Amino acid sequence: MARLIPLTVLAVCLYFWFKSRRAAKAGGSGSSTAGSARNKNVEAAASLGLLPADRLDVEEINPPSPERAAATATVRSGDWAAGAAYVEEAGRDWYERDRRISLLAEAAVEDDAWLLAWRRERPEDPAAAAVHACSLVYLAWEIRGSKQARHTTQEQFASFHRVLEQAREAFARAQELAGDDPTPFIDELPLAMGLGYPHEAFERIWTEIEKRDPHHFSAYGSGLQYWCRKWCGSHEAALAFARRGAEKGRPGQLLTLFPLEAYFEQESYESDIEPQEFYNRPEVVAATDAALADVAAAEQVLDARDPRIVQTRHLLAWMLYWQDRYEEALAQFRLVDGHIGCRPWTYSGDPKARYTKVRDYTAAEVLKKRG
Amino acid sequence: MGATLRAVRALVLLSGFYLLGLGLLALLGAADWAVVLWAPAAIRIKVLIVSVLLAIPVVRGMAMLRTPRDEEPGGVLVTEADEPRLWATVRELAREVGTRAPDEIRLTADVNAAVTEDARLLGLLGGVRRLYLGLPLMAGLDEAGLRAVLAHELGHYVNSDTRLAGLGVRGRVQVGRMIELFHAKADAKVDKERARQERKSEKRIARGKKAKEIDTEGAGVTYRTMARIYSAYGRLYLRSTTSGARRQELAADLAAARIAGRDATARALRSIPAIDAANDHYLSSYAALGTDFGLLPARGEVFGGLRHLLAARADEVAGLCEELPDEPASPYDSHPPVAERVARIEALPDDGRATEGSGPALGLLTSPEAALGAIEDVSLTPEAQHMRRLDWPELVHEAMSARVARGTEELRAAAGAGAGSLPALLDAIDAGRTWEIADRLPKSEKAAAATGRAAREFARPALRRGLSALVTDELLRSGRARWELSWTGPATLTLPDGTADALPAALDAATADLPDTGPLRALLSQQAPLPL
């Protein structure tokens, strides 16, 4: 018996030593070697002037816009006419009109007294109808909550579906009033995705969108989600859809972002894809180069903080990182650092960790190469 | 195996249960003794406490060995003078089976027939024989089917099954109880552990951390182990007695087929589960429809109404007869699966009696109506016996109307004095007070936590439901709507022409964010009463 004790102690020690080694290899934060490498990366990022993790905003992709905040505040105070005017100011810039309608729809989720007044006063107002339809989708998700199904009550599911059905009717009404405006068609796409519209129904909506604006950035964004494997399509369908847009889009319209998104969706969905290999495939590298050229063209026509450019830069940084093109990746990081509320970071349970890991590693590699 | 041998085996198995208990106690005692001698104080106390906790159910189980005292025989006792044809049939069957006829026949309100015998001396001597016969069962069988059922039951007397039943049942009940006792203890432990972990994860959430998955796998392990030991013994017990019990059933089936005919027996076996299911549905959806409001069907119809349901749904019942359960109701069930019993009977050679016609089994009674009334006196609670009795159409209309009226209560209360009536509520909606009222309706936790528009969406279904009830109530009270009985489906509400189609949209409009009570007011203003 007495002889067994030292042996047991030895076995236990061996076990813990082995366990700690495995943790180190997997990049666990508990081990000292991985930890010091991580620290070096953080220092590299800091020396390049990139922001520390605690100053990153994970909700938005841009600093708050005073103009948009003012629009929200005005309608909330009951001045729906100001909201109507704000939408109309966008004119025939359908991308901007859609953004403004979505903003007001968001504002109507908590309190819609102003929207009800608007609809009562102007039952035929296309903007009011579009805001109403769009806000019902947001409201449905507010009721559903973001918890897993088992933490969501029957009552929540029932109300969620009831409100989505209402949204469907509201979109039909808004589309009747829409005229040239593609917005109420585009904003129905997330509903098509959530309610699993059949492909023919999607195509009907898409035809109406293309008639009104064949190069609409947000339409391709929502359409791509619909065609993703996790919603109503497949990896192939999503990529084909994105490529059609990228080929059709003019330089500077940034529809070249969507093939990159399709690749990213595929890699996120499939657990057995090795990202290092996948993102270095020739077609992915070619799509990355196309998007880089498109961003350069967009810089000439769009505002530097235009959400289309910013979103493209975030995904470009991700692709360039995996393609070991660290200088180019760093250039993108420098331009978007600080606000990280979009893909690819938001698909991680801890967006900040994913972002800083990729960015700081990039920074360290750049410094290493520069010597 | 002869009766005596079977009695001895039952006794041995029962004493095995005692031995198992004593053995377990001895084991626990030995563990305690060892711990007191060798283990450090902390462990010693823990082991002692655990062993006492485990010993308690063992001792309790051994002390509970008495089976519950036999209850007073239930049902309505019918003498030979009351029911000469039934008695004659039973006597004739007993003769054919080759046994002494029962001493008593009692009519009951179950879908069942059973024989008992007050055995003496551990079942070695026979006693008073009783035949229990359920009227709802008779309502679903024809005379030939009933003869098969009776022949089956009387067959048990021949084999002395009834006499030994006491001993066998005793052991079976005992072991089952023990297992339940330990499982209940283990479950209580798991619940406690879950509650503890839930409190802990609430704290984690409060501190802004992710909650851990709740895991109660380890809890109650000791109790479960004990339950497992008894389960193992229980399985041994069942293996050695169930096959016997099931053989007895099959033997009784063969006796029935010989006397009542192959096809009548198979048909009866097929029918019983279907009648049982029909009766369950009948009792909950028809007989008890008005009990919440103090209403019952007319005398004789509380159990007798099943006849109407069976007649109206003959096809459905016939369909049920085709799908038979092919598993026993529980592993402790002494009956083999019905499918197996039917298959064995139907495999017998044709006895050429398939076409024997016979009337309904209830026809054997002097007056089925009187009998169905009499069993109400012994089956209904005193409270139920004082309920108002109504004929079926009236019962359905009044009970369903009362349900509708009850459905208006919450909204009336929420609307408060002054707005409780339908016109006042519609005015309140027009005045923009909808959500102030809806906010006072009862709501779930999630709904109560919601604010603004989400809160409104949570309240809308209850509001619409309440308003729908108020409108229906108004139409019923003014004689413009009526509930109609259907023996083939749920009661239907007959509304004035066009109302049924227009009502849903009118309710939607009245409860919309931009409400419009116009369509509802238009519907309510139609004066045409129903043609009755």
Q: Does the CB of B200 have a partner CB in chain A at under 8 Å?
A: no
Side-chain-side CA neighbours of residue B351 (13 Å): 18
- Helices B221-260 and B143-158: angle between axes, nearest 10 degrees: 120
pLDDT tens figures, B121-158: 555 556 788 899 999 999 999 999 999 999 988 887 77
Alpha carbon distance A342, A40 (integer Å): 26
* A192 vs B217, more confident: A192
Which tokens sit at B12? 């041995």
Angle at B496 between CA B498 and CA B486, to 5 degrees: 105
Q: Which residues contact B22 (CB under 8 A, 6 or more apart)?
A: none
Q: Does the CB of B223 have a partner CB in chain A at under 8 Å?
A: no
**Residue A335 CB neighbour total at 10 angstroms:** 17
Cβ separation B450–A143 shorter than 8 A: yes
A298 residue type, one letter: A
Q: Does the CB of A162 have a partner CB in chain B at under 8 Å?
A: yes
**Chain B residues in contact with A111 (beta carbon < 8 A):** 452-453
Q: Residue B328's pLDDT is what?
A: 60
Task: Return the closest-CA partner of residue B171 out of B4, B336, B337, B20.
Answer: B20
Q: Does the CB of B157 have a partner CB in chain A at under 8 Å?
A: no
Alpha carbon distance A207, A214 (integer Å): 9
The burial class, CB within 10 Å (0-12 / 13-18 / 19+), for A68 is middle
Domain ranges in chain B?
3-64+165-383, 391-525
Pairs of residues, one from chain A and one from chain B, whose beta carbons lie less than 8 Å apart? 41
Q: Residue A30's pLDDT is what?
A: 44
**Chain A residues in contact with B451 (beta carbon < 8 A):** 110
Cβ separation B461–A159 shorter than 8 A: yes
Alpha carbon distance B399, B387 (integer Å): 13
Closest Cα in chain A to B210 = A349
Closest Cα in chain A to B454 = A143
Q: Residue A23's pLDDT is what?
A: 42
Decide if B49 contacts B31 (C-beta within 8 A).
no
Q: Give CA separation, A101 vs A59, A97, A106, A118, B125, in Å.
A: 20, 6, 9, 14, 91
Q: Which of A110, A153, A162 sits opposite B453 (nearest CB)?
A: A110
Q: Is the per-residue pLDDT at A200 higher than 80?
A: yes
DSSP 8-state symbol, B297: E
* A289 vs B173, more confident: A289
Phi and psi for B117 in degrees, rounded to 5? -145, 125
**Residue A347 CB neighbour total at 10 angstroms:** 14
Residue B120: strand pairing partners = B125
Of chain A residues 64-103, which have a CB less than 8 A from chain B?
none
Q: Residue B316's pLDDT is what?
A: 87
**Chain B residues in contact with A158 (beta carbon < 8 A):** 461
Q: Is the dihedral of CA A270, A273, A275, A281 positive or negative?
A: negative
Angle at A233 between CA A230 and CA A235, to 5 degrees: 75
**Residue A268 CB neighbour total at 10 angstroms:** 16
**Chain A residues in contact with B444 (beta carbon < 8 A):** 153, 155
Cβ separation A119–B514 shorter than 8 A: yes
Which tokens sit at B414? 């929420």
Decide if B237 contacts B328 (C-beta within 8 A).
no
Cβ separation A163–B447 shorter than 8 A: no
Tell me the three state secondary structure of residue B295: strand
pLDDT tens figures, B437-477: 999 999 888 888 888 899 999 999 999 999 999 999 999 99
Task: Return the closest-CA partner of residue A41 out of A371, A280, A368, A336.
Answer: A368
Cβ separation B458–A120 shorter than 8 A: no
Q: Residue B324's pLDDT is what?
A: 74
Q: Which of B444, B457, B514 sits opposite A163 (nearest CB)?
A: B457
Q: Which of A104, A135, A143, A151 to probe by mutation at the B interface, max B CB count within 10 Å?
A: A143
Alpha carbon distance A220, A249 (integer Å): 11
Q: Is the per-residue pLDDT at A44 higher than 80?
A: yes
Q: Residue A338's pLDDT is what?
A: 94
Q: Residue A313's pLDDT is what?
A: 98
Decide if A328 contacts A292 (C-beta within 8 A).
yes
Q: Give CA separation, B272 vs B141, B323, B357, in Å.
A: 8, 12, 19
Alpha carbon distance B134, B113 (integer Å): 6
Q: Residue B452's pLDDT is what?
A: 85
Q: Is the per-residue pLDDT at A83 higher than 50?
A: yes
Q: Which of A119, A155, A163 sits opposite B446 (nearest CB)?
A: A155
Q: Which of B457, B458, B508 to probe by mutation at the A interface, max A CB count within 10 Å?
A: B457
Tell me the three state secondary structure of residue B357: coil
Q: Residue B78's pLDDT is what?
A: 93
Q: Residue B32's pLDDT is what?
A: 86
**Chain A residues in contact with B447 (beta carbon < 8 A):** 155
Alpha carbon distance B281, B288 (integer Å): 10
Q: Which of A109, A119, A162 sits opposite B453 (nearest CB)?
A: A109
Å from B152 to nearest chain A CA?
49
Of chain B residues 423-482, which have a CB less than 8 A from chain A?
444, 446-447, 450-454, 457-458, 460-461
Decide if A104 contacts A83 (C-beta within 8 A).
yes
Mean pLDDT of chain A: 90
**Chain B residues in contact with A159 (beta carbon < 8 A):** 457-458, 460-461
DSSP 8-state symbol, B142: B
Alpha carbon distance B155, B99 (integer Å): 8
Q: Residue B416's pLDDT is what?
A: 83
Q: Which of A116, A153, A158 sits opposite B513 (nearest CB)?
A: A116
- 3-state SS record for B76-136: EEECCCCCHHHHHHHHHHHHHHCCCCCCEEEEECCCCEEEEECCEHHHCECCCEEEEEEHH
Q: Which of A114, A155, A161, A164 to probe by mutation at the B interface, max B CB count within 10 Å?
A: A155
Q: Is the per-residue pLDDT at A153 higher than 90?
A: no
Q: Residue B208's pLDDT is what?
A: 46
* B376 vs A4, more confident: B376
Closest Cα in chain B to A153 = B446
Q: Does the CB of A120 have a partner CB in chain B at under 8 Å?
A: yes
Question: Quick one: average pLDDT of A4-16?
Answer: 54
Cis bond upstream, residue B368 (ω within 30) = no
Residue B493: strand pairing partners = B483
Cβ separation A110–B461 shorter than 8 A: no
Which tokens sit at B403? 């349900």
Q: Which of B451, B457, B458 sits opposite A110 (nearest CB)?
A: B451
Task: List chain B pLDDT tens, one digit each, 532 residues.
Answer: 565 666 677 677 767 777 888 888 898 888 888 888 887 877 888 888 888 888 877 777 666 555 444 556 788 999 999 999 999 999 999 998 888 899 999 999 999 898 887 765 555 556 788 899 999 999 999 999 999 999 988 887 776 565 555 556 566 666 666 677 677 777 777 777 777 766 666 555 555 455 555 555 555 666 777 777 777 777 777 666 666 677 778 888 888 888 888 988 998 999 998 999 999 999 999 999 999 999 999 999 999 999 999 999 988 888 888 887 666 656 556 677 888 888 888 888 887 776 666 788 999 999 999 999 999 998 898 899 999 999 999 999 999 999 999 999 999 999 887 667 899 999 999 999 999 999 999 988 888 888 889 999 999 999 999 999 999 999 999 999 999 999 999 999 999 888 889 999 999 999 999 999 999 999 998 866 555 4
Q: Is the dihedral of CA A78, A80, A85, A87 positive or negative?
A: positive
Q: Does the CB of A109 have a partner CB in chain B at under 8 Å?
A: yes
Q: Give the largest Cα separation in chain B, rounded.
A: 94
Q: Is the per-residue pLDDT at A323 higher than 80?
A: yes
Cβ separation B446–A156 shorter than 8 A: yes
Closest Cα in chain B to A132 = B513
Question: Quick one: average pLDDT of A66-71?
Answer: 95
